[in-house]
Amino acid sequence: MPDEALARWIEVEHLHYAYPDGFEALKGIDLAVAHGEKVALVGPNGAGKSTLMLHLNGINTPAHGTVRVAGMTVDRSTVRRVRAEVGIVFQDPDDQLFSPTVFDDVAFGPLHMGIPEAEIHARVDRALAAVGMAGFERRLPHHLSLGQRKRVAIATVLSMDPSVLVLDEPSAGLDPRGRRGLIRLLLELPQTMLVSTHDMRLVAEVFPRVVVMDDGRVVADGPTDAILADDALLEAHGLERP
Amino acid sequence: MRSSASAGSSGAAAPLAADAEATDLINLDRYVERDSALHRADARFKFILAIVAIVAISLLPTASWVALAIAWAALALLSASSGLGPFRLSRGAFFALPFMLAALPLVFTRPGDIIATIPIGPVTLSISGQGLQEFATIALKSWVSVQVALLLTFTTPFHDLVDGLRALRMPRIIVSTISFMYRYLAVLSDEAGRMMRARASRSAEIDGHGGGTVVWRMRVVGGMVGSLFLRSYERSERVYAAMQSRGFQGDLKHMHGRPLDASDWTFFGTMAAGIVAFVIAGQVWLPHA
């Protein structure tokens, strides 16, 4: 893989998107994330963070502009391969975990990617071990704590072996212990990450780079230290220092 | 589900009972975790055997008291050997009692030897011996059949039953619907429980000014149902997006079930032979009317 491609593993150019009711959620996003980079996406509710994330694996299709991931332009013909490359974890684990058992859920991705069953078992084991949930295969999602469900939700995309992890507010609603566990997990996982969050302490601890979004635009993009030190910027976009 | 129920558990007893009722409104989990031969047996076989056993019981002739007693004893034995205790099924099956009342008219309508009469005004109801026998047979058959079904659900996790249905070629759309329903009933009843708690928290009462009219209350409940529907609808869209993100293209795939081994077939053969022997004995040798 040429260096240029690795440096622009995720590449969003002039992305515009409006919802069917006419609401313009994205007004020209430009963003590039390098392979292995961990980037936090912050900004007030309604800034367009979730809408942007849904473009990265082709759930939403851009009105204008392009999205490229791992060298593929996201469109109808590449969408299946892109989804194998980008694992999105939704905010509410009850949306992410829709199967009767933990095993079924973690196996869902690989199974629908057409991976042979013998390998699926190995992948499920690896994914659950990676999030510290080995041994929970036969458990039912609604018998797990929120922290455990969030971990399993991450495992459901790890089993697809993606190069990019996109997480929507992973620390929301977690108690301090669950949060610590999550931070350790995010630091350990080697994937390229784009994580939307309101949790500025999480940002400070895990992410070297921050992208600030407001009103459908990227309003700041830079090293975490610099952004978190810019009180005027934080104030202007309803954010706070950790 | 549990956490939310226990979160409010320090309050008074009466409203809490209502809370618990709301959160446990819908509970399909009857599975009792134990380690036994019956628990380990393959769900597909258990499902088939349970159906066959229920058919065998319902085919018994009227007044097969001995056969019914044998069936009951066999169930008690199986229940005890799976760590459930011998009488759990018998107790649990009483919830079917109201349905047995449907057979009650037989007592009065079946022609036969009159053993008693009940005069009610101008009409006289006469109870026939045969009618009584038939009613008792039907009542006992349903009671024992429900025990078979309970034994199945006590020893098989719900998702294994669903997998079993799929393996037995039940239409996939139905199986998937059952599977999603099972997963989201808990989430939904949790959500409904939270809404009911929120309503209860604001249903204060000043002396002598409680409530509101029945119509007003009905409108509140109607609004809650509507909002629950909207929330579920929105959730379904998010779930669909989550499924798409993980490669779903409109065709739900499933892993193949565990291959059946010799011990599964031994279990199936033994139980099936037992049921066949029971059917023959019940029809031919054992006493009946």
**B44 and B140 assigned to the same domain:** yes
CA-to-CA separations, A110 to A161, A176, A190, B66, in angstroms, rounded: 9, 32, 19, 54
Answering whether pTM is above 0.80, one says no
**B139 and B239 assigned to the same domain:** no
**B154 and B62 assigned to the same domain:** yes
**B96 and B229 assigned to the same domain:** no
Assembly ipTM: 0.86
A76 and B CB contact within 8 Å:
no
What is the structure's pLDDT at B35?
82
**B129 and B196 assigned to the same domain:** no
Question: Would A36 be classed as within a structural domain?
Answer: yes
Q: Tens digit of pLDDT for each residue in A176-231?
A: 888 898 999 999 999 999 999 999 999 999 999 999 999 999 999 999 999 999 99
Mean pLDDT along residues B89-95: 85
Q: Tens digit of pLDDT for each residue in A157-183?
A: 999 999 999 999 999 888 888 889 899
**Using 50, 70 and 90 to split pLDDT, how confident is the model at B253?**
confident
A165 and B CB contact within 8 Å:
no
CB contact under 8 A, B235 and A100: no
**B41 and B109 assigned to the same domain:** yes
Exposed, middle or buried, A209 (CB in 10 Å: 0-12/13-18/19+)? middle
CB B132 within 8 A of CB B289: no
Question: DSSP E strands: which ranges in chain B?
Answer: 114-120, 123-128
Higher pLDDT among residues B216 and A237, named by residue:
A237
Which helix or strand (DSSP H or E) is residue B14 part of?
helix B13-23
**B35 and B10 assigned to the same domain:** no
CB A130 within 8 A of CB A113: no
**B267 and B226 assigned to the same domain:** no
Question: Would A9 be classed as within a structural domain?
Answer: yes
CB pairs under 8 A between A and B: 82
Cα separation, B20 vs B26, in Å, equals: 11
Count Cα atoms within 13 angstroms, Cβ side, for B250: 0
Cα separation, A72 vs A81, in Å, equals: 9
Q: How many domains does chain B have?
A: 2
Please tell me which residue of chain A has the smallest CA distance to B244.
Answer: A59
**Using 50, 70 and 90 to split pLDDT, how confident is the model at B7?**
very low
Q: Which of A142, A154, A156, A174 to probe the B interface (max B CBs under 10 A)?
A: A142
Q: Tens digit of pLDDT for each residue in A26-57?
A: 999 999 999 999 999 999 998 999 999 999 99
**B249 and B264 assigned to the same domain:** no
Question: Would A241 be classed as within a structural domain?
Answer: no
**B197 and B66 assigned to the same domain:** no
CB B158 within 8 A of CB A139: no
Q: Tens digit of pLDDT for each residue in B145-162?
A: 999 999 998 998 888 888
Question: DSSP E strands: which ranges in chain A?
Answer: 10-18, 24-33, 38-42, 64-69, 72-73, 86-89, 164-168, 192-196, 209-214, 217-223
In chain B, which residues have their Cβ closer than 8 Å to the Cβ of A95? 235, 238-239, 241-242
Please tell me which residue of chain B has the smallest CA distance to A79.
Answer: B247
Which CATH number does the domain housing residue A194 bear? 3.40.50.300
Q: Tens digit of pLDDT for each residue in A120-151?
A: 999 999 999 998 899 999 888 888 988 899 99
Of A109, A120, A142, the CB nearest to B1: A142
Q: How many domains does chain A have?
A: 1
Q: Tens digit of pLDDT for each residue in A12-30?
A: 999 999 988 888 999 999 9
In chain B, which residues have their Cβ closer than 8 Å to the Cβ of A142? 1, 183, 186-187, 190
**Using 50, 70 and 90 to split pLDDT, how confident is the model at B14?**
very low
**B139 and B229 assigned to the same domain:** no
Strands A192-196 and A217-223: unpaired
Q: Which of A197, A107, A121, A211 is nearest to A152 (CA)?
A: A107
Domain residues for the domain of B5 are 1-28+172-254
**Using 50, 70 and 90 to split pLDDT, how confident is the model at A2?**
low
Cα separation, B147 vs B93, in Å, equals: 6
Question: Would A242 be classed as within a structural domain?
Answer: no
Question: For chain B, percent helix, then strand, then coil, each to nearest 5?
Answer: 70, 5, 25
Mean pLDDT along residues B11-25: 40
**B66 and B98 assigned to the same domain:** yes
